[in-house]
Amino acid sequence: MLFKSLETITLNKVKRERANFILRSILPMPEKTVNMISSAGGMGKTFLSIRLASEFVKENNQKALCWFSEDHKGEIGLRFDTLADCLMVDEKTQSMITLINSEPKQFAIKENGTFRANYEALKGITEDCIANDIRLLIIDPLLAFYGGDENDNSQARIFMQPFVDWAKRQNITIIFIHHSNKNGGSTRGAGAFRDAVRTLYELNYVLDDNGEIDFNKKDNGIRQVSLAKDNRNAFYWFEKLYGGGITELKILPTRLNVEVTNYEPEYQNAEMPEIGF
Residue 10 belongs to some domain of the structure: no
In a domain, 73, yes or no: yes
> Which runs of E-coded beta strand occur in the chain?
21-22, 29-30, 34-39, 63-68, 97-99, 108-111, 114-117, 134-140, 173-179, 199-205, 222-230, 246-250
How high is the pLDDT of residue 185?
60
Q: For residues 119 and 109, give the distance between their C-alpha atoms in angstroms, rounded to a whole number.
A: 9
Domain harbouring 86, CATH code: 3.40.50.300
Residue 274 lies inside a defined structural domain of this protein: no
Number of independent structural domains in the chain:
1
Q: Is residue 130 part of a domain?
A: yes
Give the span between the Cα atoms of 32 and 46, in whole angstroms.
Answer: 22
Whether 7 is in a domain gets the answer no
Q: Of 19, 64, 49, nearest to 230 (Cα)?
A: 19
d(CA 82, CA 225): 22
Residues spanned by the domain of 154: 26-250
Q: How far is CA 141 from CA 1, 63, 147, 200, 229, in A?
A: 48, 20, 12, 14, 19
Per-residue pLDDT of the chain (277 residues; tens, 9 = 90+): 678 899 999 999 999 988 999 999 999 999 999 999 999 988 999 999 999 999 999 999 999 999 999 889 999 999 999 999 999 999 999 999 999 999 999 999 998 889 999 999 999 999 999 999 999 999 999 999 998 999 999 999 999 999 999 999 999 999 999 998 766 567 889 999 999 999 999 999 999 999 999 999 999 999 999 999 999 999 999 999 999 999 999 999 875 555 444 445 544 444 444 433 2
